[in-house]
Structure 1
């Protein structure tokens, strides 16, 4: 498990994540301010019932508001139906 990676501009980085447990998982890349805002959003989702320990109700979610800092996220995919 490296602590750092050397990546050249334009190089594709692939993260492979496997959730072998029963609880919902999440993987985020971003700066500290984005993570702080996201933690508040996740708490709001939990309190509204949209987020549970085992899943998310995706109906009505708008991911366009997520702050990706100008990163091109077109290569991202999430094929887990949780």
Structure 2
């Protein structure tokens, strides 16, 4: 169980209790958690790893996708070397 505190535009403070939610491990290759495959994924967005503004830190690559088989949507960090199938930069 986790405690979460949120501020509503500076007007009020809310503290709520939440249960742990299953989140894909950081930098996991995309796969549908229900179908347990990447065969049906439709990629909505892919952002390659990039340098953070005003920092030397590298922000991880990320992808968002929907499974066309079951309709599950997911988004998370992906390995730096991962790219969606048939993906390339336009030049």
Where relative contact order (Cα < 8 A, 6+ residues apart) is larger, the structure is 1
Which structure has the greater CA radius of gyration?
2
More strand by share: 2
User: TM-score, normalization: structure 2?
Assistant: 0.22
User: TM-score, normalization: structure 1?
Assistant: 0.23
More helix by share: 1
